[in-house]
Amino acid sequence: MEPSQTKRINTPYIWTFTTYFTEGFPYTIIRQISSLFLRDLGLRLESIGLTSLFGLPWILKFLWSPHIDRFGTKRYWLLQMQGILIGVMLLAGLFAPLSWGPQAIGILFFIGSFFAATHDTAIDGFYMEALDTEGQAKFVGYRVMAYRIAMITGTGLIATIGTTTSWALAFFVAAIIFGLFFVYHTLFLPNPEQQRFSPKGMLGLFKNRIVLLGTTGLALLIVAIRLFYQSAFYKSLVAQTPILKKIWFSHWIAALLFLSLALLIVFRDLIKKAIAKNPDSFYSKAFFTFIDREKIGVILFVIIFMRTGEFMLSTMVAPFFVDLGIKVHYGWLSSAVGLPCSIGGAMLGGWMISRYSLRRVIWPFLLLQNLTNVLYMIVALYLNQFTQQNTGVSSPQSIGVENLLVIAGVHGFDQFAGGLGTAVLMTFLMRLCLKQFKAAHYAIGTGLMNISGVFVGVLGGFLCSWFGYGYYFGFSFLISLPGMVAIFFLPNFIYEKKSN
């Protein structure tokens, strides 16, 4: 193939799409399709609830992400994980028709979730290695678009094949789709990075006593939390305190992540001295360099609370549509209205960040994102009579075409503004990543970002039942204000353009 042809094939306009499609596709299969598949095969809800464990690696991936920076290259890890994930999908297809297939696939997906989370970390790191700061902002819209299309492919095509034809065929089709992207990446994905150490060097980590003790301790802690959830003592606590039903296993893991970084900040002087005694401790440096920054308290506050209002809104939008009596319209509102607006917002947001700088657009974009909550508040209060009439009824009263169009407009604006906010958030997190620790720092940032989303889901139902939808949406806007105000106190280095 001519060099000019190869250059056209491996342009960022193509590989940005393909890599982030392959990031979103396994996540959709493991995290969303799995529960549909297991329920379709008749498993109990209690067993399906265990699929929440599949999300654990996406919270914990910050623990092993420094090794992706140190050993091999991001391209190497990306391809290795994709090869393994193809095997996971093929095995799922083989297991699906068997009597013990659901249980086997449950275990397979849990193991596969660790490879998928590692795959995500490698792709995020590769993106930052292959593009400079301006390019990262420019193509952030392509990332969001590709990820959303991957989710539609999973929840649309693969789920439809599984529920109408056979799940074996569905998983085989998923493997074929993913395999085509794997072939393209193997042949044409650029290799912008020189490896520091051979991947074989990771085998030496297992001989390290501290690593063994730390890994064992973490595993025992996770098992202990899980056993506590199944204990009679916890069940008695739930009976006395109903809110505990909303606190899941993943919530405790997210809390441990936040606590671990908080302790790093508190004891960072002691940690700095310890690292000075062992200058080759790459793993320790990855975490310490993330929190040893100017105004790190403000940075962490913004990461955690930047999307709190958005998370509060999104947890109650679907229930609001149901109680309003428009659940039958949810499909086209999400796909025909929400998805194009979301992609358009992300594409425009990436272009405007590249054109006008992050500093100039970060606050207006986040303000637009959170003003959606106010629009939902107005709509919910205006249509409150329909909510009261249609909640819990089998044949809801029509809200009328004009009101439905208003809802479609608000939902479209919500998704468009959310796309702008996503572009800002991704760019903001990438600016936090130091050159030597790109994969590790981005994994830490995304883990922290999800903390507020994890916990507002616990309180959302209670607050909404107390206040009603209208005042709840208004309250969610007020919750977003601290994060927006904190933006004005961010250090200047966040807005500085850096080359790779």
Coil, helix or strand for 21?
helix
Q: Within a 10 A sphere around the Cβ of 453, how many other Cβ atoms?
A: 17
Kindly report the CA angle at 220 between 217 and 223, in degrees rounded to 5? Answer: 150
pTM (2 d.p.): 0.71
Q: Which superfamily does 299-495 belong to?
A: MFS general substrate transporter like domains (1.20.1250.20)
Q: What is the CATH number of domain 3-188?
A: 1.20.1250.20
Domain spans in the chain, listed from the N-terminal domain onward = 3-188, 203-291, 299-495
| Nearest CA among 332, 305, 306, 336 for reference residue 321 | 332
**Where would I find the H helices in 139-248?**
140-152, 159-164, 167-188, 209-230, 232-240
Q: CA-CA distance, 23 to 119, in Å (whole number)?
A: 7
Q: CA-CA distance, 167 to 169, in Å (whole number)?
A: 5
Q: Going residue by residue through the chain (500 aa), what tens digit of pLDDT does each one get?
A: 555 555 566 788 889 999 999 999 999 898 878 877 877 777 665 556 566 667 778 877 877 888 888 888 889 999 999 999 999 999 999 999 998 888 889 889 989 999 999 999 999 888 888 887 777 777 887 888 888 888 888 877 888 888 888 999 999 999 999 999 999 999 989 887 777 766 665 665 555 555 566 667 766 776 777 677 777 887 787 777 766 666 665 566 666 666 666 666 676 667 666 655 665 566 677 777 777 778 888 888 888 888 888 888 877 887 788 788 887 777 677 777 877 888 888 888 888 888 888 889 999 999 999 999 999 999 999 999 998 888 877 788 888 889 999 999 999 999 899 888 888 888 888 888 777 777 778 878 877 777 676 666 556 667 787 888 899 999 999 999 998 999 999 888 887 765 45
**Where would I find the H helices in 29-165?**
34-40, 45-49, 56-60, 65-70, 74-95, 101-130, 133-138, 140-152, 159-164
Residues 6+ apart with CB under 8 A from 481: 370
Sign (positive or negative) of CA dihedral 62, 64, 69, 74: negative
Coil, helix or strand for 197?
strand
Q: Which two tokens stand for residue 193?
A: 């990075």
Q: CA-CA distance, 189 to 186, in Å (whole number)?
A: 6
Q: CA-CA distance, 345 to 421, in Å (whole number)?
A: 8
Give me Rg for the CA atoms of the chain.
23
> Do 3-188 and 299-495 fold alike per CATH?
yes
What pLDDT does residue 35 have?
A: 75
Give the type of residue at 188.
Answer: F
Q: CA-CA distance, 406 to 413, in Å (whole number)?
A: 11
Give the type of residue at 330.
Answer: Y
Q: Which two tokens stand for residue 308?
A: 């709190």
Give whole-number Cα distances, 369 to 8, 310, 335, 422, in Å.
Answer: 36, 7, 19, 9
